[in-house]
Amino acid sequence: MVISRSSLAGSQAIVVLKGDSPVTGSVVFEQSIKDGPVTVSGTISNLDPSSKRGFHVHQAGDLTNGCLSAASHFNPFGANHGAPTDSERHVGDLGNIESDEFGTAIFSFEDSLISLNGPRSIIGRGVVVHAGTDDLGRGNNEESLKTGNAGGRAACGVIGMFTCGHYIQEFT
């Protein structure tokens, strides 16, 4: 059996977040094997202290009109909005990030629905940190099933491949 160096290295992507608010940060996505879970690790600063904020992959990697151009949550299968642990959810539903008492969120978690390849690929799509808490689709209203009532868009960026220590923007 021959295993190539590239299959051992896996895939990495990165997004740098900024917007009209003071919220900034960066997030790295790592997938060690094709169709395996993606590890999502990041640091986001200038959030409200001790708060939860909706964190989603959005359909478009378009920032021509700021974060509003990122379109709706990435949802290729037409599901309702939900929590990352729900069996039915948008592919882009990554729940909430939680800031510390200084307004910084440092996080790392795995997600088995997003991917860095294939029909669930998040490459070239937008990431949005919302101004409010995501109710995870449990708000008992129509908007909850679309957006989780997470509010406006505090910061955003476009996910690009990260190869051999270099950031390479890819578009799908």
Residue in 53, 89, 93, 135 annotated catalytic: 93
At 137, list the tokens: 């689709």
Residue in 53, 120, 125, 153 annotated catalytic: 153
At 121, list the tokens: 């690929």
C-alpha atoms less than 13 angstroms from C-alpha of 88 in its C-beta half-sphere: 8
Residue in 58, 89, 120, 125 annotated catalytic: 58
Mark whether 73 is an active-site residue. yes
Q: d(Cα 145, Cα 135) in Å, to the nearest integer? A: 9
Residue in 53, 90, 120, 125 annotated catalytic: 90
Sequence-distant (6+) residues with CB within 8 A of 120 are 76, 91, 113, 114
Residue in 53, 125, 130, 135 annotated catalytic: 130
Residue in 53, 81, 89, 125 annotated catalytic: 81
Mark whether 56 is an active-site residue. yes
Mark whether 166 is an active-site residue. no
Q: Among all residues, which ones are annotated catalytic?
A: 56, 58, 73, 81, 90, 93, 130, 153
